[in-house]
Amino acid sequence: MQSTRALPQALRASTLVLVAALGLLAAAAPSVALGQRTEQRSLELKVGELVTLSSAGVSTYSVGNEAVIDVKPLNGRMVIVGKQAGESSLLLIYGQDRQVNYAVTVLQPAKGNTSAASLAVPERVNIRLDLYYVEINRSSQLQVGIKWPSALGGQLNMIRGQVPLEPSGAATFDMSLQQILPTIDMLHATGWGRVLRHGTVVTTNGTQAEFDSGGEVYIASVAPTGQASFQTLTFGSRLSVTPNYDKDTGRVEVKVEGEFGDLFDTGADYPGKNRTTSRSTANLALGQAFAIGGVEAKSSTRSKRGLPGLGQIPILGVLFGSHGSEDLEKENIIIVVPTVVDTVPGRTAGILDEVLTSYASFSGDIEDAELSRALNAGAPKKRK
């Protein structure tokens, strides 16, 4: 009887365990279905090397060891730079249903059996950037008519000295009244100008480079307290570029900040400054000339001055007033041309020889001794 009772209890216990197990499986099944699908990938690079990955669809990312790699999202790409030898992970999350985990290994570049003087930083691609600034302008000015004074009056001048008395006992005084007469106002002036600035910068991939060529003008100013101070007015060309070259696509992403300024005479004690500034990021093909900025401006000014009422008479009003007009037209454009180059140490001496030869043979004609030609003659071979 005892064995008969014990058997149903064992069956009931087994049934409860089975039901509990099925419940756990049923509860776990939705979590597996809703879980993210993780892909495991590996990535290997050297210290100082730059690698890019597509970031299309990536909502967020996480870096395991920031001391080993540096990751920056940049216009649809993930730029990865090896900082020091070691291992790290890079997790890219695509929405809610997919994620990719990269096992990143950063290697120390092989130094080989060379002397300590020849041990250098890892080889990195050099980017040459040519920036051109071109400006053309034209001006026209016309002034015609009769220029009348804005106020009529005179100045009474007394002649001082000994005045003889007439027999009648009266004295004679001499005085003059200076009247301001109208003048004929006739002026026609035209002119044009052009400006060309060409700056060249060579830097390693992913490294910011700066170039500044110009000068400074110090302008004195006096405060209400009587204390004098100086203000600095800079002019010339200033260029800052950061290139990122993707060897897989053969394109270069260039971040450019440039400023071009020239001084002009204001007729006062201090000059004015024409300034053009551009901040842009562009994705270009190698050797492609791309305009990153420009402006086209036109201005017209009309003026009329003369005697009230009379100067407003049609046709005859020219005799009682002066009419003026001024037209200005200006266009400028900024063009950047990126090039990937291979450095060849043997050509360094050739560049120096070209520059020194141009310097020694210069006799006043800039066209015959242009330094930019020496730079282009010794420039490294372009990588296509």
Mean pLDDT split into 10-residue runs, the chain, 384 residues: 40 46 44 61 86 85 90 81 90 85 86 40 68 82 73 51 54 51 72 78 85 78 76 80 82 82 76 80 78 80 77 71 83 81 54 66 66 50 41
CA terminus-to-terminus distance, the chain: 95
Handedness of CA 314, 318, 323, 327 (dihedral sign): positive
Distance separating alpha carbons of residues 47 and 13, to the nearest angstrom: 63
Task: Quote the pLDDT of residue 121.
Answer: 38
Task: Quote the pLDDT of residue 223.
Answer: 75
pLDDT one-digit tens code per residue, 99-114: 889 999 999 876 544 3
What residues does 344 pair with on adjacent strands? none
Task: Quote the pLDDT of residue 63.
Answer: 92
pLDDT one-digit tens code per residue, 206-237: 888 887 877 887 777 777 777 777 778 788 77
Task: Quote the pLDDT of residue 372.
Answer: 57
- The two structure tokens encoding residue 365: 């004609």
Q: Give the other-Cβ count within 10 Å of 306's Cβ.
A: 21
Instruction: Tell me what percent of the chain is helix, strand and coil, each rounded to the nearest 5.
Output: 20, 55, 30
Task: Quote the pLDDT of residue 354.
Answer: 67
Dihedral angle over CA of 179, 180, 181, 185, nearest 10 = 170
Which burial class, exposed, middle or buried, applies to 350 when counting CB atoms under 10 A from its CB (0-12, 13-18, 19+)? middle
Distance separating alpha carbons of residues 251 and 229, to the nearest angstrom: 50
Distance separating alpha carbons of residues 243 and 204, to the nearest angstrom: 8
Segments of the chain assigned to CATH 2.60.40.1080: 2-107
Distances (CA, A) of 138 to 134, 268, 335: 14, 23, 22
Distance separating alpha carbons of residues 202 and 245, to the nearest angstrom: 13
CATH code for residues 2-107: 2.60.40.1080
- β-pair type (37-46, 69-74): unpaired
